[in-house]
Every structure is written in structure tokens, then in C-alpha cells.
Amino acid sequence: MTDSASAPITTVSSRPVRMGLREPYTIAYETVDSTTNVFIRIETDGGPTGVGCAAPDEAVTGETADSVLRAVRDVAAPLVRGRDALDAEPLLADLASALAGQPAALAGLDMALHDIQGKARGVPIRRLMGGARDRIATSITIGILPADETVNRARAFVKQGFRRLKMKGGLDARADADRVLRVRQAVGVALGLSFDANQGFSVAQTVRFAEATAGARLEFIEQPTPRDRPDLLGRAARETAVPIMADEGLMTVADMQLIADGRLADLVNIKLMKVGGLAQAARIDDVAAAAGIGAMVGCMDESALGIAAGLHFALARPNVVYADLDGHLDLVDDPAAGAVLLESGILRPTGGPGLGFDPPGR
């Protein structure tokens, strides 16, 4: 297909898929044992079919699988049907306006439209968006566990070839510091190690935790303070030597501008589900890069199809310095298993056009 061709949208469909986790995990505000993703398919007349998925997280995005299904059926499908899928920018602008406050639903649709763009041009999304690299190391996350179990899990991941570990905490700063120090002692100094408090700390606790773990050489501390108090995140960033990363506090371009203007964080975690997909993520990363703030591409508990989109974005953007794309690794019966390739902690796309994978079924 050439750029002069058209691909009128004929059908927009969605279906929920519930996937269990082989091992439940605990973070500061919840324990998770399953997730439901909504798989989205956009079909065109004479052009390629695009696929995407939404991974709503009510605690983060305020969405559920049911709300995503309604958004796709009642809002998105009537809005885009009959329009040219290759004119993606105006389509995405209209969808972003119509689905304000529903970033996971928007992200799934954004993925499917980018998938069509890549397939129409015969290139992977990473090249469509910039093509900075062709692979990246991902961290793998250890939930809140007793210290001995945390150390054993860390050693097991290192044996599997992972080069970066991210530890969860936020319930007990002193115990968290002890676990971090023990993991560093167990895995050695060469391994990348970071910590995510999931909003569980005060500024004072963040400072004490950073001081207590100074010997562990953490790469960053992620969202230690409450998301609705960006001023506290800024104080933590100013008062600690360890880089502070914004996560739950970054949902929109306006949030990123606030962070950049006030220098409220040293790094930001860009999750497609949280910000509304690839197009919105690119705008956020542009602001971050202009402010000299590095980015990590993170994820929710999401199918490998969603991980593939995050991976393509991470590979396309020079400002992305970290990837935390492990949300698919523990899922049972993922329809998109195989959408990304993992070897010794390194993620690569399949190499096919668009997202590089078409899940079976409709």
C-alpha cells in the first residue's frame, strides 16, 4: 500500500479477556491476582486491520473493562466509522477529545490505528516513530515480600538473565530499606536496582529511605509521595540525592509541563495506558526531553500486545533511558503471547510491520 491509498474504517470491535497471574503480587495499595484487558480490532475497507489492547486499572486510570467496552462501542466506533484510518492525526485528536479521562480506552484505539499505519507502510511502529534502537533491557519487578523471599526472587531473576530489578514497597520504609540493602548484597553492584513506593511515603520517609539505602546505589525512587500532591514530589526530588521519578502523578501533557516547569522530578514513567497511547506519550516525552528529564516506559498488568506497543515506543525515542515492560510475563492464557521476544532480560519486537502481531480470534 502506498501513502496515497486510503483505508476507510468499516468496523471497530472489542472483547474482554480475563487473565490470571501465576503468582499474585502486593504493592503499597493493593494485592493483584488477575487482570482484564480489552482487545480492540479496527477493520478497514481495502486496507489492513489494526489491533490494540486496553489494560484499565481503576486505581490509576479510573477505568474498568466495562467502561472501556462502552467507550469503544458507544463513543469511538460511531466517531471513526467511515473515516480514513491513514489520516491518523485528526482521528486521534478527535478520539482524545471524546475520550478525555479514559486513557486506557484511548490507548487501545491509538495502538490499533498505529498498527494500521505501520502495516500500510510495511514498517514496524518503532521505525514509524523514530527508530532510535532495536532492543532494550527491561527491569522485572519484585512485589512486597518478606526479606528472605525477596532475596531469593532477586537471585532467581538474575539467573534468568535480567540486568535490572525493580522492588516494590511503601508500607514500611525501614523494612523496605533493609530489603533493598539485602538484595544489593545478594546480587552485586553491577545489576541495575530501583525502588517503587507507589505513593506510600511522606517526604521525610523518602529522605530517610534514600539515606538508609545510599550504599545500594539505587537508580531511582519511583513516585514515593501521593499523586495529588506534586509539590511533595518536588520536595522529595530536591531533598534526596537519589533521582526521583514521577509515575502516578503523570497522566497528561499538562502534568508533564507542571513537572518540567517546577522541576518536580528527575525522571518520568510514561505508561501508554496511563497517558492515552503512543501519540500522547510522544507529546509528553517531547516536553520531558526539552526539560532535560529522562523517561522510562512502564506498563500495567497487560497483554504482550500492549507491551509490544510500549516496546516500540521505547525503541523509537532517544529520551527513553529505562524500560519496565514486564507486565505480561506472569499472565496465564495471554492471547498475544509471543508479541514481544525476551532473551536474558532483553526485549525485542518481532520485526513485523505495525505492532508485529495479530492475536487470534475476533
Domain count of the fold of the chain? 2
Residue 222 appears among annotated catalytic residues: yes
Q: Is position 305 within any domain?
A: yes
- 160 and 283 share one domain: yes
Summarised one tens digit per residue, pLDDT across range 22-51 is 888 888 777 788 999 999 999 999 899 999
Asked if residue 200 lies in contact with residue 232, where contact means CB atoms within 8 angstroms, the answer is no
Q: Is position 145 within any domain?
A: yes
Residue 119 appears among annotated catalytic residues: no
Q: Which of 219, 247, 301, 334 is catalytic?
A: 247
Boundary of a domain, candidates 122, 145, 176? 122
Name the residue range of residue 151's domain: 127-349
Beta strands in 169-299 (DSSP E): 192-196, 221-222, 244-246, 267-271, 294-298
Asked if residue 247 lies in contact with residue 78, where contact means CB atoms within 8 angstroms, the answer is no
Q: Is position 155 within any domain?
A: yes
Q: What is the CATH number of the domain that holds 256?
A: 3.20.20.120
Q: What pLDDT sits at residue 31?
A: 79
Boundary of a domain, candidates 122, 137, 162? 122
- 69 and 216 share one domain: no
Q: What pLDDT sits at residue 2?
A: 43
- 34 and 64 share one domain: yes
Q: Which of 110, 115, 176, 196 is catalytic?
A: 196
- 184 and 257 share one domain: yes
Residue 159 appears among annotated catalytic residues: no
Q: Which of 119, 166, 168, 274 is catalytic?
A: 168
Residue 247 appears among annotated catalytic residues: yes
Residue 17 Cα distances to 23, 120, 334, 341, 344, angstroms? 18, 27, 8, 22, 28
Residue 255 appears among annotated catalytic residues: no
Q: What pLDDT sits at residue 1?
A: 43
In which residue ranges of the chain is pLDDT below 50?
1-3
- 174 and 259 share one domain: yes
* Angle at which helices 103-121 and 304-316 cross, to 10°: 70
